[in-house]
Structure 1
Amino acid sequence: MIRVLLVDDQELVRAGLRGILRAAFGFEIVGECADGDDAVAAVRSTRPDVVLMDVRMPRVDGVVATQRLTGEHDAPPVLALTTFDDDDALAGMLRAGAAGFVLKGIAADELQRAVRVVAQGGAWLDPIVTGRVLAVYRTTRSPAPRRDGAAAALTSREREVLALIGRGATNDEIARLLVVSPLTVKTHVNHIFSKLDLRNRAAAIVFAFDHGITEQSAD
């Protein structure tokens, strides 16, 4: 079972999510919050595998709540959920450390897949708005001069792995494409994160887009 914490101020939305993420499909809703202010305490008490976080909430929004969560030891990944094509807010979620985002109204099976991918350490960026969100992210992030030339520190294999991460591939998919073990891929991913000072897979996708690495082909 994948343990999920729901953070959304609308009871109707949470009810819908409960119906989609139920035990029959391999999920367990371990807690619910109606405001981002309660998220940290709820994570500490329920220890979820994934936090499904609304972006827009009246008191403490998803960006602030995600910033608080990612500062916690062993924090679970956060998947942002929004009804708005709000590029600024979603870019803010990436900067706060979210592992990805989906739009409310996503098909049930796609939401289930997104939660599974994030629970397994992957990233999920809704393709409908990813291009625009990354454009906002690039223009509003703080400068990071140390990382500008950081890609040069990657080995050719690490660049191949990063290119595939940028295209949304999971570790298992990368292992099949490169004909290596998933453990080897995990080692490469850890090296990439360390060398590039990246906190999660979503940040790696942004880096790959920014540096044109997604355009490389894997041998």
Structure 2
Amino acid sequence: MTVVRVLLVDDQAPFLRAMSAVVAETAGFEVVGEASSGEECILAAAELLPDFVLMDVNLPGIDGVEATRRLRGRQFPPVVLLLSTYDEDAGAYFVAECGATAYVTKSALGPDRLREVWTASSR
């Protein structure tokens, strides 16, 4: 079984812990790194080469939308799931702006949604 390598990106430690717990509960997925800004995410992704990035929309410096746009422009881009407290309608706008695979509200993130987004990405 191939393990899906996940990079977590959020500037709030409690949510990084929550995302980490969701990934740990999802068979076949593992956290390979964490970042707390868009800039850190871009550097970490270049070093760690994650398959999947869980990206907060609101980050200091480069926000999650711009960081996703930059990641998606790479030769072998990771799948990116945008996360925030905004409702699902706002999420559709963010996805269209940057090429993320999907948007999920932070409160709706769980193992089933994580696996659903990964499966839908056709990886």
* Normalised TM-score (structure 2): 0.85
2:96 corresponds to which letter in structure 1? Answer: L
Aligned twin of 1:21: 23
> By percentage of residues, which structure has more helix?
1
Q: Secondary structure at the match of 2:107?
A: coil
Aligned ranges for residues 147-186 of structure 1 at < 5 Å? none
More divergent stretch after superposition (70-79 vs 23-32): 23-32
Q: Contact 2:79 / 2:118 at 8 angstroms: preserved in 1?
A: no
Q: Contact 1:79 / 1:115 at 8 angstroms: preserved in 2?
A: yes
Once the 2 structures are TM-superposed, how far is the Cα of residue 111 of structure 1 from its aligned partner?
2.8
Deviations 1:18-44 (A, max 9, x none): 111017622110110001111221111
Return closer, same or farther for 1:63/1:24 CA change in 2, 3 Å cut-off. Answer: closer
Once the 2 structures are TM-superposed, how far is the Cα of residue 114 of structure 1 from its aligned partner?
3.1
> Are 1:96 and 2:98 matched, yes or no?
yes
> By percentage of residues, which structure has more strand?
2
Return closer, same or farther for 1:9/1:90 CA change in 2, 3 Å cut-off. Answer: farther
Unaligned runs of 5+ in 1: 122-219
Work out the CA distance in 2 between the residues paired with 1:20 and 1:113: 10
Unaligned runs of 5+ in 2: none
Q: Point out the structure with max Rg over C-alpha.
A: 1
Number of residues of Structure 1 aligned to a counterpart in Structure 2: 121
Work out the CA distance in 2 between the residues paired with 1:43 and 1:31: 9
Identity of aligned residues (%): 37
1:31 corresponds to which letter in structure 2? Answer: G
C-alpha RMSD of the superposition: 2.1
1:71 corresponds to which letter in structure 2? Answer: G
Aligned twin of 1:144: none
Q: Contact 1:66 / 1:93 at 8 angstroms: preserved in 2?
A: no
Q: Secondary structure at the match of 1:105?
A: helix
Aligned twin of 1:42: 44
Q: Secondary structure at the match of 1:21?
A: helix
